[in-house]
Chains A and B, each alone.
Chain A
Amino acid sequence: MSVKSAAAGAARASRRPAVSASASRLFWRIVFYAVSIAISVFMFLPFFWSLITSLKPSDEIFSMPIRWLPSRLTLEHYRAAFTTVPFGLYFWNSLVLAASGVAANLFFGSLSGFAFAKLNFRLNKPLFRVLLAAMMIPGIVTMIPSFYVLKHFPFAGGNDWYGAGGNGFLNSFWGIILPGASGSFAVFFMRQFFLTLPSDMMEMARIEGAGEFRIFWNIYWPLTKPALATLGIFTFQAGWNSFLWPMIILNDPDKATIQMGLQAFSYNHQTDFGPMMAGALIAILPILVLFLALQKYFVQGIAFSGTKG
């Protein structure tokens, strides 16, 4: 009998850890979801709240206690944002600037990246090291002299060849596009990508008698689509979101970017939170759309640089 009860006890004991193991697994699962959801909701809440505010009728924005959901949806704040200031024009200006930045960086960045990764020349290593080291220079150091260089650029904006007389590239989109047209990061990023592509295609093409530019343009360039997509997203985001430099260069209100327009609007209309939220969401929208549409390339790019970088 004692043997029997001992055996039963043993059986029970051996079952209990199993039960408690699955119970603890359930417990940790609940903890995982509770924490994850809490954090994610917190991170998402500003988006939700600005969207709700932008769609609320004006009198409900300042209601006490706050209304989580509006009684009716209205687009009046979006209309207000577009009519009190030329938001559409600002949007277009930012789009032009960001798209030019992307085009220039993808082209020049992959040209140089290809040269540094695939071609032999004596200054290859030293020049690349200098470019890389220069990435550590804080932007604040070059801010004032870059302004000077742009102002006194020869033959630009009424300047003579001596760089005097006019305003150079100040108050022109070139003043924003040129300094960032071939960023060191773009060169570095594309070089790392080209390094992973095999070199024998190049030898083959040479035997077939293709010129170096054709080798680059027709053989390697098409293979870099994922890298270009990733670099394109980052460059577009940086261009679209940049604020200080355009504010320094562009004085003409008709040339203002969307970030400048939004800042000026929220500064001048400090209590118009409906139009302010509408404007902020419009300023975020293109990046959000780009991210959602190209998330696949984005993930591929991160996985690529994570495994092979």
Chain B
Amino acid sequence: MASISKLNRHQARTAYMFITPTILLFVIFTVVPVVMAFYFSFTNYDVVKNRDWVNFDNYKRLLHDDLYWTTFKNVAYYTVIFVPLNILISLGIAMLLNFRRFGVRLFRTMNYMPTLTSAVAAATVWVWLLHPEYGLVNTLLGYIGITGPAWLAQTETAMLSIILVTLWQSIGSNMIIYIAGLQGVPDYLYESAKLDGANALQRFRYITWPQLRPTTFLVSTMSIIGALQLFDQAFVLTQGGPGNVTKTPVYLIYQQGFNQLQMGYASAQAFILALAILIFSIVNMRVNKSEESVV
């Protein structure tokens, strides 16, 4: 008995030793910063000299900061278009490439390749592809008689271009997740549905889609969190322009905090953004849940 408890004590000691580096780093770079972010959002911290408590001044200022709400509107527009398209296209390609046919592995690899690129490299390549005169996209559109717009320079198309580039980059990995999900759907469900005379559309509606709900939940949550924190592509493709239509909250927080050194105010902005992400995630959770009761 004594030796067992001694073994347990020994084991616990080893375990604490094993997790010490992880926990230390976690405390220093996650726990402390979260607390500090909250504290900073009530100060006028500016790196150089000030760090005074200013009560709710930052939050009051934020309410009347038109640019901040513009960036919110931009990123909401982006999210509302990007997330559903991301799910639909990834799922569509996953269902297509879930067939066991010759060449499927090659197709999957080609679809996955864009996810390997960095946001900066992808944006750099697409700046060239979307070039109004010499770009490949407008040349291809020209073949079918369409005069393409100046994608990145026009207010109507700038955000659409960013949606296009980020979709190109994110479809591949979501496709892989969906293929894994599809392979987990038991075959007998489809077989019995076929016996009952269900057509392809009904089989998708009543078997595939409900069975994939956990996968869809995962994919949609991840893409919402990512979409609301859009930065890299907007920074490289359009520098937030034209006329701030592609400026995102993270972009603004970066400028406010690290260019203008208003870190207190930027922290308040970051907190409100985090709140928005939380709300979007909860809404997403509700949508996924409510559908469960309908089906």
Q: Which residues of chain B have C-beta atoms less than 8 A from A262's C-beta?
A: 120-121, 124
Interface residues of B in 19-78 (CB under 8 A from A): 19, 21-23, 25-26, 28-34, 36-37, 40, 45, 47
Beta-carbon contacts of B221-258 to A below 8 Å, as 1s and 0s? 00001001101100110010000000001100110011
Within the complex, the shortest CB–CB distance from B101 to chain A, in Å, comes to 6
| Chain B residue at smallest Cβ distance from A43 | B111
How far is A131 from B271 in the complex, measured between Cα atoms in Å? Answer: 20
Given known pairs A50-B125, A212-B10, the reply for A112 and B18 (CB within 8 Å) is yes
Taken together as a complex, chains A and B put the C-alpha atoms of A125 and B37 apart, in Å, by 27
Of B126-134, B155-163, B186-194, the one contacting chain A is B126-134
- Indicate whether B116 reaches chain A with its CB closer than 8 angstroms: yes
A169 to chain B, nearest CB (A): 11
In the complex, the answer to whether B225 meets A138 with C-beta atoms within 8 Å is yes
Residues of chain B within 8 A (CB-CB) of A244 are 231-232, 235, 250, 254
Q: Mark B259-294, 1 if CB is under 8 A from A, else 0.
A: 000010011001101100100010000000000000
Q: Which residues of A contact B225 (CB under 8 A)?
A: 138
Residue from A37, A46, A112, A178 with most neighbouring chain B CB atoms (10 Å): A46
Q: Do residues A116 and B19 form an inter-chain contact, with CB atoms below 8 A?
A: yes
Count, chain B residues at interface, CB 8 A: 89
How many whole Å from B115's CB to the nearest CB in chain A? Answer: 9
Residue of A nearest to B281 (CB): A136
Question: Is there a chain A Cβ closer than 8 Å to B184's Cβ?
Answer: yes
**Binding site secondary structure of chain A:** helix
Q: Which of B33, B126, B235, B253 contacts A263 (CB 8 A)?
A: B235
Binary interface encoding of chain B residues 1-30 relative to chain A, with 1 for a CB under 8 A from any of its CBs, else 0: 000000110111011101101110110111
Residues in A lying within 8 Å of B, measured CB to CB: 29, 32-33, 35-37, 39-41, 43-47, 49-50, 53, 61-62, 64-66, 108-109, 111-112, 114-116, 119-122, 124, 127, 131, 134, 136-149, 151, 178-179, 181-182, 184, 187, 206, 212-213, 216, 237, 240-241, 243-244, 248, 259, 262-263, 266-267, 273, 276-277, 279-281, 283-284, 287-288, 291, 295, 302, 306
Q: What residues of chain B have their CB less than 8 Å away from a CB belonging to chain A?
A: 7-8, 10-12, 14-16, 18-19, 21-23, 25-26, 28-34, 36-37, 40, 45, 47, 93, 96-97, 99, 101, 103-104, 106-107, 109-111, 113-114, 116-122, 124-129, 131, 133-134, 136, 139, 168, 171-172, 176, 180, 183-184, 225, 228-229, 231-232, 235-236, 239, 249-250, 253-254, 257-258, 263, 266-267, 270-271, 273-274, 277, 281
Can you offer 7 A-B residue contacts whose CB atoms are under 8 A?
A32-B96, A41-B110, A134-B31, A136-B281, A137-B34, A182-B26, A280-B125
